[in-house]
Structure 1
Amino acid sequence: MTFKDDLGRRAAEVEGYLVACLRDKGIPDRLLKSMEYSLLAGGKRLRPVLVLSWNGLLGGEAAKAMPFAASLECIHTYSLIHDDLPAMDDDDLRRGRPSNHKQFDEATAILAGDGLLTEAFGLMAAASLVEGLPADRVLRAVSVLARAAGAGGMVGGQTVDMELTGRTGVPLGELKKMHAMKTGALLTASCECGAILAGAGETDIDNAREFGRKIGVAFQIVDDVLDVVGDTATLGKPAGSDEAMGKTTYPALIGLDRSKTLAREYVDEALTHLSGYFGSEQEFLWQLARYIVDRVY
């Protein structure tokens, strides 16, 4: 099995869980359609896959961690719906389809995002209440994820991104800090929560966190590069939108070649945090880190 086949298999397992996770909850029909329109629109399911892979690497059970893993996808999807809104990034296309607010309307899109964020915390609780994971592990993981997704993490990062849009002369350090909040925080939390839910020790949790932090930086650099060199059909969203909106990006500050090199350097650093582990999950995480930068080579 190739790495892409393995990633696709893992994503499909997450997808199977997501299909049912919003059903039979009394959600009004139009709101449910809007939530599922974005949640089930495909994608690599990278964040839940990272939860499950680190959890498996450190001795956890995938079935018990799946509700928590799915919560990451709900949070990620809500952020995409809100980022696309006219008041923010004003994007009409997402994953090759009309953005949620274009398919439905702005009010419904806002409420769909709100609904997904709230449902995510119900899914986190299910890891303990339904699947039987120890409550102290789930509580710690909830705290980590809430911090990563909140005002000091992803939400704050989007705020800074909007503040930097259209500015010139933005220092590289400020760009790194913004992306560590907007993109990196949720990827980091995915790895860290997987380790916590497995009952891992502090050294293993630190390794998971640092692996996630470094691939988070690499992932964002590569996304910036792809916005320049990719095409709309491949990206699933308008190519060149960063430049058109005056976004501060790595290629804009340090050029394409240096951006590619920097992404690979971060991946190399991430791999050092896998050096003490063995087995299929270690190999998968190793290949996943490499895959992030291979998209631009």
Structure 2
Amino acid sequence: MTEPAFAARADELIARVERVLAERLQSLPATGSKLAEAMRYAALDGGKRLRPLLVYATGEALDLAPAALDAPSAAVELIHCYSLVHDDLPAMDNDALRRGRPTVHVAFDEATAILAGDALQALAFEMLSEGDGAEAPHSMTAILARACGVIGMAGGQALDLKFEGERPDQAAVEDMFRRKTGALIRAAVMMPTALRPELAPARREALARFADAVGLAFQIRDDLLEIEGDTDSIGKSCDSDSSRQKASWPILFGVDAARARIDELAAEAAEALTQFGENTEGLSWLAERLLNRRS
């Protein structure tokens, strides 16, 4: 079976956002060099760059040039990296391994890790706001900011901590997943729509439904990997959820049910793309990659 053309472009697009990130992070001022080093450690030389790929793939669906998407692609990855740094902290998930190497607070120290996360978040919005004064940078900033706050990642992480040792129902767990993981995936898909203000509401809604389904399924898959994977393949500890009595979808509702829910959400994502229309090859390929990943 021939792979989609987007698969052949994915490595090139990853290299593109890597260059954007490296250029900005390597140019950080020498003052606070330990902080800058920690920021580079957290954001460079690791990660699959799936969220930037979602930005570029959505841009292709909207007939946007990659150059117009470099800033939002880099920004969403910086936010993702900041969230991982903070999630790994002793006060949060207390993880010692990320992407196959020591987490930032282990490699440096806890205070530097907190500051590095803060600074990565600030840099994301700095890059995103450096537009030409048009409406689009402002709109993209608002989309990304909502994904970070109380209705997004921060609120989702708060629920994640609250649910430790509890047995929330499926609706509560999925609400938490949509916030802590799905919100940033949704932002990656929706930011490019700010560059197409004329986009029909029905097509915009189709992209939102696609992103919501993929974001929720992605986190359920992540929970499955905690059970079925191994530390070498996923690059982090495989017993973190169980040891902290996390609200893990497969632990609470069953492994087979988790697989069935992922399939259901994958079908929802595919149906949403049929409603969107043409040029969704990249989004389809990424959805399959996100929902069937082994690491």
TM-score range, shorter chain: over 0.9
Counterpart among 14, 19, 23 of residue 17 in structure 2: 14
Match of 1:288 in 2: 286
Tell me, in whole angstroms, the C-alpha distance in 1 between the residues paired with 2:208 and 2:40.
Answer: 30
Paired-residue identity, %: 38
Q: Which amino acid is the alignment partner of residue 57 of structure 1?
A: A
Q: Which amino acid is the alignment partner of residue 193 of structure 2?
A: A
Pairs within 5 Å for 1:39-54: 39-54=43-58
Offset at 1:206? 1.5
> Is the CA contact (8 Å cut-off) linking 1:192 and 1:206 kept in structure 2?
no
Match of 1:174 in 2: 172
Matched, 1:267 2:266: yes
Q: Which amino acid is the alignment partner of residue 18 of structure 1?
A: L
Match of 2:204 in 1: 205
> Is the CA contact (8 Å cut-off) linking 1:196 and 1:205 kept in structure 2?
no
Give the secondary-structure state (helix, strand or coil) at the position aligned to 2:26: coil
Pairs within 5 Å for 1:112-261: 112-126=116-130, 128-129=131-132, 135-167=134-166, 169-199=167-197, 200-261=199-260
> Is the CA contact (8 Å cut-off) linking 1:7 and 1:44 kept in structure 2?
no
Counterpart among 64, 70, 76 of residue 68 in structure 2: 64
Match of 1:83 in 2: 87
Matched, 1:104 2:108: yes
Offset at 1:278? 2.7
Give the secondary-structure state (helix, strand or coil) at the position aligned to 1:20: helix
Residues 110, 269 of structure 1: CA spacing in aligned structure 2 closer, same or farther, 3 A cutoff?
same
CA deviations on 1:195-239 (whole Å, 9 max, x unpaired) are 222443322222221111110011001000000000000110001
How many residue pairs were aligned? 288
Structure 1 alignment gaps of length 5 or more: none
Offset at 1:2? 4.3
**TM-score of the two chains, using structure 1 as the length reference:** 0.92
Offset at 1:139? 1.3
Tell me, in whole angstroms, the C-alpha distance in 1 between the residues paired with 2:195 and 2:239.
Answer: 39
Tell me, in whole angstroms, the C-alpha distance in 2 between the residues paired with 1:203 and 1:51.
Answer: 19
Q: Which amino acid is the alignment partner of residue 160 of structure 1?
A: L
Offset at 1:5? 5.0
Structure 2 alignment gaps of length 5 or more: none
> Is the CA contact (8 Å cut-off) linking 2:220 and 2:249 kept in structure 1?
yes
Tell me, in whole angstroms, the C-alpha distance in 2 between the residues paired with 1:141 and 1:225.
Answer: 32
Tell me, in whole angstroms, the C-alpha distance in 2 between the residues paired with 1:234 and 1:202.
Answer: 41
Q: Which amino acid is the alignment partner of residue 24 of structure 1?
A: S
Q: Which amino acid is the alignment partner of residue 293 of structure 1?
A: L
> Is the CA contact (8 Å cut-off) linking 1:8 and 1:44 kept in structure 2?
no
Tell me, in whole angstroms, the C-alpha distance in 1 between the residues paired with 2:293 and 2:103.
Answer: 24
> Is the CA contact (8 Å cut-off) linking 1:93 and 1:238 kept in structure 2?
yes
Match of 1:31 in 2: 35
CA deviations on 1:180-201 (whole Å, 9 max, x unpaired) are 1100011011101122224433
Give the secondary-structure state (helix, strand or coil) at the position aligned to 1:151: coil
**TM-score of the two chains, using structure 2 as the length reference:** 0.93
Tell me, in whole angstroms, the C-alpha distance in 2 between the residues paired with 1:31 and 1:292.
Answer: 32
Q: Which amino acid is the alignment partner of residue 242 of structure 1?
A: D
> Is the CA contact (8 Å cut-off) linking 1:65 and 1:197 kept in structure 2?
no
Tell me, in whole angstroms, the C-alpha distance in 2 between the residues paired with 1:103 and 1:195.
Answer: 38
Offset at 1:151? 1.7
Offset at 1:15? 0.9
Moved more, 41-50 or 101-110: 41-50
Tell me, in whole angstroms, the C-alpha distance in 1 between the residues paired with 2:172 and 2:141.
Answer: 28
